[in-house]
């Protein structure tokens, strides 16, 4: 960190990245900003509306409801995936052929297109032809995720846990393998039990990768669209209509550009704010 | 206790494989069998679903489209991210920290927010319905990611390497291509893996930016699901085939994944 030299020409190295990302980020973002303050009745005729749409979005029950569902969903999956991922990483073999086998199989869900994940879970969880749905019903529990909100939530959460826990496992495992053996030997000499080893050696060493894991899982679960859309279509009713699903409904379904754009910006700002908090914490930690 | 914990990864993998197995199981069944009976394996194995996919251009061109924009995106993202990551890891310049965070914010932009403006932007520059449009659009989240990963790898390499090379009379471009790039080969592999992964699995933008000519395989699937009703076997076969490229890629980078996560910062 300290060894960096000041060189303004470094900007030239970054320029291609800036141009490409700006093309994709700034132009569409300005389009959204543009829509968010105007009203249109078609034919490319626009009227200035000021902050009307923002007020409407911030006061709308519909937005509050989907934001609430989104926050609940993200909290649930973080609370399950992070501890579960750490626990699995702790039990993984340290060396040998099994490491590769574990890594290859565990990474598989990460590389399946998201709509295939949704379709796969649809087939897997359907109460009549799905293995999961059929098994749960065979246990005597009435389960049908297409008509029961609770079952829909259960299936969506389970699908996300299935899909993304491996990311936490891989990150935590990488953190664990970076701990030198000497640490464990020292702990053994001091007579530390498994809990003490975890609390004072493994957990601090995993802190950085875990922050990254939580940050990535927060961002991606907050933006989740395709998987629940294919699985439940946001239903039954609005039970699993998360922010992105609601947004696409408003923007492309009803073509209400102004409200959709205002909602987009509020949505983006929320993700940005939380991620910025995480990022600052992470950088502060690294600087120490 | 140790004996029990040994089986945790195995149990986890078995649970992970169950939905995948069910998909493969369905792909070998006839529609009648899927809807009529419930069985843990196909009673009469049929390859009709796969034959249909490999012979119908609507299906197999979808694969080519997906693979072509993913490859294109991977090449673009990593090649522009390399010099940028070098700049971030070696130099201090005006606004560097803000720029780095701004790049990362694009990883945080919900694709749903950008779907409509993207459609208008790429129509305006007449790239709509080409693999290039999707490849460029996916740069939005893949370039920041590639810069982030590569910067992590490069910061792990001591600056003395650069200085020694200059003393030995290497010019910057020669040093970069001949010495530096081979040194961080593992990092490039990891960055490419993640670019492949996020471009391959993303659908919302890919679907928005294409209609017929460049339609990705995943979009073909959703359209089939809605238009022809309940062809579950066909859908399952197409789904199974989309898992294969990913599995193939993981197999090649398996030894780098753990290392990559540790050194780099995904």
Residue among B16, B17, B19, B151 with most chain A CBs within 10 A, to mutate: B19
Instruction: Specify the 3-state DSSP secondary structure of A204.
Output: helix
Is residue A18 one of the residues assigned to a domain?
no
Q: What is the b/e burial string over A2-20, where b = at least 16 CB atoms within 10 angstroms of the residue's CB?
A: eebeeeeebbebbebbbeb
Residues 38-77 of B with CB under 8 A from A: 38, 40, 76
What value does the mean pLDDT take over residues B59-87? 92
CATH number (domain holding residue A137): 1.10.3720.10
Nearest neighbour of A244 by CB, restricted to B112, B246, B257? B112
Report pLDDT digits (tens) over A96-131: 778 888 888 888 999 899 988 998 998 898 888 888
Quote the minimal CA–CA distance from B130 to chain A in Å.
16
H-only helix segments in chain A? 10-36, 52-59, 61-91, 97-107, 114-125, 131-138, 149-177, 181-189, 194-197, 203-222, 226-232, 243-248, 257-287
Q: What kind of fold does domain B57-263 have according to CATH?
A: MetI-like fold (1.10.3720)
Contact A174 B258 (CB under 8 A): yes
Burial annotation A152-187 (CB, 10 A radius, 16+ → b, else e): bbebbbbbbbbbbbbbbbbbbbbbbbbeeeeeeeeb
Please provide the average confidence, as pLDDT, over all residues in chain B: 84
* Of residues A239, A13, A254, A64, the one with CA closest to residue A147: A239
**B59 pLDDT higher than 90:** no
Check B258 against A134: CB less than 8 A apart. no
Is A1 within a domain? Answer: no
Distance from CA of A31 to the nearest CA of B (A): 6
The alpha carbon of A108 is separated from its chain's Cα centroid by a whole number of angstroms, namely 17
For A47, the token pair is 């009227």
The boundaries of the domain holding residue A225 are: 61-287
Distance CA A208, CA A201 (A): 13
Task: Report if residue A131 sits inside a domain.
Answer: yes
Contacts of B225 in chain A (CB under 8 A): 119
How do residues A227-254 score in pLDDT, each as one tens digit? Answer: 898 888 877 888 888 888 888 888 777 7
Q: Is residue A35 part of a domain?
A: no
Residue A14 included in any domain: no
Q: From the CA of A175, how many Å to the nearest CA of chain B?
A: 6
Q: How far apart are CA A96 and CA A99, in angstroms?
A: 6
Both tokens of A197, joined, read 């080893």
Q: What is the token pair recorded at A276?
A: 């910025």
Nearest to A119 by CA among A225, A223, A232, A222: A232
Sole residue written with tokens 């010099």: B83
Task: Determine whether the interchain pair B23/A13 forms a contact, defined as Cβ–Cβ distance below 8 Å.
Answer: no
ipTM: 0.85
Task: Provide the residue count of chain A.
Answer: 288
Rounded percentage of chain A residues whose pLDDT exceeds 90? 17
Average pLDDT of A194-223?
A: 85
Residues 139-198 of chain B with CB under 8 A from chain A are: 139-140, 143-144, 147, 159, 197
User: Out of A196-200, A277-281, B13-17, B66-70, which region has the weakest mean confidence (pLDDT)?
Assistant: A277-281
CB A282 within 8 A of CB A208: yes
Domain ranges of chain B: 1-46, 57-263
* Contact (CB<8Å) A5/B99: no
Tally of domains in chain A: 1
DSSP label at residue A4? P
Q: Do B115 and A252 touch (CB under 8 A)?
A: yes
pLDDT at A271: 86
Q: Is the bond into B48 cis (omega within 30 degrees of 0)?
A: no
Lowest-confidence region among A17-21, A172-176, B196-200, B242-246: A172-176
The predicted model scores a pTM of 0.87
Cβ distance of A10 and B159 shorter than 8 Å: no
């Amino acid at each position: 960190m300290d060894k960096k030299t000041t060189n303004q020409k470094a900007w030239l190295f970054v320029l291609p990245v800036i141009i490409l990302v700006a093309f994709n980020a700034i132009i569409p973002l300005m389009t959204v900003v543009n829509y968010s303050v105007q009203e249109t009745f078609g034919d490319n005729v626009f009227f200035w509306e000021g902050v009307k749409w923002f007020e409407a979005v911030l006061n709308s029950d519909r937005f509050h409801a989907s934001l609430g569902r989104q926050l609940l969903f993200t909290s649930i999956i973080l609370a399950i995936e992070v501890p579960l991922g750490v626990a699995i990483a702790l039990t993984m073999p340290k060396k040998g052929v099994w490491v590769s086998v574990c890594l290859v199989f565990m990474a598989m869900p990460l590389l399946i297109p998201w709509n295939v994940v949704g379709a796969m879970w649809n087939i897997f969880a359907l109460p009549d032809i799905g293995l999961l749905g059929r098994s749960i019903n065979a246990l005597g529990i009435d389960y049908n995720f297409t008509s029961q909100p609770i079952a829909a939530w259960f299936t969506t959460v389970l699908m996300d846990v299935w899909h993304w826990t491996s990311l936490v496992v891989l990150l935590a495992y990488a953190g664990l393998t970076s701990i030198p053996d000497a640490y464990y030997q020292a702990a053994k000499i001091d007579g530390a039990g498994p809990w003490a080893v975890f609390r004072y050696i493994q957990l601090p060493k995993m802190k950085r990768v875990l922050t990254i894991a939580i940050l990535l899982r927060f961002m991606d679960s907050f933006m989740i669209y395709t998987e629940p859309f294919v699985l439940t279509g946001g239903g039954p009713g609005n039970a699993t209509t998360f922010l992105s699903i609601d947004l696409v409904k408003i923007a492309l379904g009803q073509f209400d550009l102004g409200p959709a754009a205002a909602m987009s910006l509020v949505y983006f700002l929320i993700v940005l704010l939380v991620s910025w908090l995480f990022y600052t914490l992470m950088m502060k930690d690294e600087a120490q | 206790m140790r004996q029990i914990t040994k089986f945790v990864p195995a149990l986890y993998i078995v649970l992970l494989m169950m939905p995948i197995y069910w998909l493969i199981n369905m792909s070998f069944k006839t529609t009648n069998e899927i809807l009529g009976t419930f069985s843990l394996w196909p009673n009469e194995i049929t390859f009709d679903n796969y034959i249909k996919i490999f012979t119908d251009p609507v299906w197999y061109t979808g694969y080519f489209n997906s693979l072509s924009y993913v490859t294109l995106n991977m090449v673009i993202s990593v090649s522009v991210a390399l010099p940028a990551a070098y700049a971030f890891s070696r130099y201090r310049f005006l606004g560097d920290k803000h720029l780095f965070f701004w790049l990362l914010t694009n990883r945080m932009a919900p694709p749903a927010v950008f779907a409509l403006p993207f459609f208008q932007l790429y129509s305006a520059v007449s790239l709509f319905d080409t693999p290039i449009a999707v490849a460029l659009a996916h740069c939005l989240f893949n370039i920041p990611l590639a810069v982030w990963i590569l910067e992590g790898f490069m910061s792990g390499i001591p600056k003395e390497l650069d200085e020694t090379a200059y003393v030995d009379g290497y010019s910057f471009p020669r040093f970069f291509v001949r010495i530096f790039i081979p040194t961080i080969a593992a990092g490039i592999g990891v960055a490419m893996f993640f670019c492949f992964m996020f471009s391959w699995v993303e659908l919302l933008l890919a679907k928005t930016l294409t209609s017929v000519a460049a339609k990705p395989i995943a979009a073909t699937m959703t359209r089939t699901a809605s238009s022809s009703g309940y062809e579950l076997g066909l859908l399952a076969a197409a789904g199974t085939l989309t898992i294969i490229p990913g599995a193939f890629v993981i197999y090649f980078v398996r030894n780098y994944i753990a290392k990559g996560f540790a050194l780099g910062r995904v």
